[in-house]
Chain A
Amino acid sequence: MVVELFLDLRSQPCRALFIFAKKNNIPFEFKDVELLKGHHLSEEFGKVNVLKKVPAPLIHCLSPQHLTSACYVPCSDIAILLYLSRKFNTPDHWYPSDLQKRARVDEYLSWQHTTIREKGCKIFITKVLVPLVVGQPFSPEKLEEAVEELNSALKQFEEKFLQDKPFIVGNEISLADLVAIVELMQPVGCGCDIFENRPKLVEWRSRVEEAVGKELFQQAHEIILNVKNMSTTQLPPELREHVKQFLKP
């Protein structure tokens, strides 16, 4: 039985899955889905993912990811990460069996949806996606608003979740750090260096990169770090129309 992971590495959740699966030597077939080419709208893809997750600027920015194994398809990256960790018996630190440590991971994974993830996404949408789709330069006011919101979330991240620990849960990397780091790389990819002037965060990032493995980390982030290479010409017109309806002015 082969696990198929449908991923677009422009998507933060997809990167988390990619890194996790690779790091833990989970055998999988990488199915490249280029969201901006509308692959995810195809019928074939639709069979796998009923939600047909689109670049829903609702919250998940470019995020269809799912796993097929005996016709079972969860459509949430968190659910998939947890599923993989259980099914493939990954090392304990990813999702510690200790009750309190595990609760800390759950706490972060829950909180991040409407904070780090949403706000990081907003920056990407505002700065890269909207201009791509509507063919106009991004709005500096909107970007500033998005950055401010992320700043608030980052403050809470450092004060409540990271504090003075090496990783969110303690001494070792967990799913919480993995999910966090891929989200924070999204704004970096579009030129908003949120790590600047945040030494604690920078140190944490280095630790996470090292725990993941620098090569794997770079590999997963190569596309997003070169996202400026995305240009309007790459977006098929039908897709542009389709995505437009999801983008709020």
Chain B
Amino acid sequence: MGLELYLDLLSQPCRAVYIFAKKNNVPFEFKHVELFKGQHYREEFGKVNILKKVPALKDGVFTLAESTAILLYLSRKYNTPDHWYPSDTQKRARVDEYLSWHHTNIRGNAGKALWIKVLIPLFTGQTLPPEKLQEVMDELAISLKQFEEKFLQDKPFIVGSEISLADLMAIVELMQPIGVGCAIFEDRPKLSEWRNRVEEAVGKELFQEAHEIILNIKELSNIQIDPQLKEHLAPVLRKMMK
């Protein structure tokens, strides 16, 4: 039994893991955990990740959660090219620094647009007032400003002249609002150029493949939501709607 990666490409961190594994020819079995079907709440998956989240990794009897941890594990085990997580102490620290900040800034904000525009209406039948979306986009704008000023600056990539795990984690998040029509790259030429560089470094085909679901998310309006999932999410949704 080889490496198994439990993923749903609707999820940003899953895309990062997917792209990384594919790009580096890491042999793995794609285990589809369909979030809309509530499969992440099933007992079976709970044995892989008790936190009930994707992505998750299973390597023999070893299981691992958290995309950052998974990416680092894969980079070490499969000896991926140095630029992903540079051995140079200072460059490496730059990646660590970004990955740390990412959690509570980009990751916190970028995904909300999908919830507000698509998921909450899908789950509750209610649409939220436009101010809600504006609020979320304003917060994201602050993070994007910091991203450009502090992390990207005038460099081609976050750490320097080559793509690293930092860029990968960032890009997949920023594609989430794109999927629901929030053109965050518009009027941000620097960010836009960076995005193009990242796409190219990843490989356009792989990038498109990974993002197919999110870029066609509007087709999900007819999807059947698992009733148990609705129940699980009710408190979270209530909070987000406040």
Q: Complex Cα distance A80/B92, Å?
A: 11
B108 touches A (CB below 8 Å): yes
Q: A74-B97, A79-B97 are in contact. Are A87 and B89 (CB under 8 A)?
A: yes
Q: A59-B104, A78-B100, A82-B93 are in contact. Are A111 and B146 (CB under 8 A)?
A: no
CB contacts under 8 Å to B, within A83-102, are: 83, 86-87, 99-100, 102
Task: Give the residues in chain A near B103, CB-CB below 8 Å.
Answer: 110, 113-114
Which of B69, B76, B93 gathers most chain A CB within 10 Å? B93
Which residues of chain B have C-beta atoms less than 8 A from A110's C-beta? Answer: 66-69, 99, 103
B residues in contact with A75, CB < 8 Å: 97, 101, 150
Residue B149 CB within 8 A of the other chain: yes
Indicate whether A50 reaches chain B with its CB closer than 8 angstroms: yes
Asked whether any CB of chain A lies closer than 8 Å to the CB of B72, the reply is yes
Q: Which residues on B sit within 8 Å (CB–CB) of A80?
A: 93
Closest 8 CB pairs of A and B: A76-B100, A106-B69, A79-B96, A79-B97, A113-B103, A59-B104, A107-B69, A110-B66
B73 and A50 contacting across the interface, CB-CB below 8 Å: no
- What mask results when residues 132 to 160 of chain A are scored 1 for a CB within 8 Å of chain B, else 0? 00000000000000000000000010011
Complex Cα gap A103–B58 (Å): 12
Residue B108 contacts which of A82, A107, A114, A156 (CB distance < 8 angstroms)?
A114
A109: chain B residues within 8 A (beta carbon) = 68
Question: In angstroms, how far is the closest chain B Cβ from the Cβ of A63?
Answer: 11
B93 touches A111 (CB 8 A): no
Please name all residues of chain B whose beta carbon is closer than 8 Å to the beta carbon of A83 when the two chains form the complex. Answer: 89-90, 92-93, 96
Question: In the bound complex, do residue A79 and residue B51 qualify as a contact, i.e. CB atoms below 8 Å apart?
Answer: no
**B182 contacts the other chain (CB 8 A):** no
A-B contact pairs, 11 of them (CB 8 A): A58-B105, A59-B104, A74-B96, A78-B100, A82-B92, A86-B92, A102-B72, A103-B70, A104-B64, A111-B51, A114-B108
A residues with a Cβ closer than 8 A to B are 50-51, 58-60, 72, 74-80, 82-83, 86-87, 99-100, 102-104, 106-107, 109-111, 113-114, 118, 156, 159-160
A123 to chain B, nearest CB (A): 17
User: Would you call B229 an interface residue if the criterion is a C-beta within 8 Å of the partner chain's C-beta atoms?
Assistant: no
Q: Report the minimal beta-carbon distance from B11 to chain A, rounded to whole angstroms.
A: 15
Scan B183-208; emit 1 where CB is below 8 A from any A CB, else 0.
00000000000000000000000000
CB distance from A90 to the nearest CB of B (A): 13
| Known contacts A99-B76, A103-B72; A50/B96 CB under 8 A | no
CA distance A236 to B236 in the complex (A): 38
* B47 interface hit (Cβ, 8 Å): no
- Return B102 CB to nearest CB of chain A, in Å: 9
- A107 contacts B65, CB within 8 Å? yes
Name the B residues within 8 Å of A103 (CB-CB). 62, 64, 69-70, 72-73
The chain A residue with its CB closest to the CB of B65 is: A107
Smallest beta-carbon distance A78→chain B, Å: 5
Query: Closest A-chain residue to B66, C-beta based?
Result: A110
Assess whether B50 is interfacial by the CB under 8 Å rule.
yes
Inter-chain contacts of A113 with B (CB < 8 A): 100, 103-104
Nearest neighbor of A97 in chain B, beta-carbon distance: B76
The answer to whether the Cβ of B238 comes within 8 Å of any Cβ in the partner chain is no
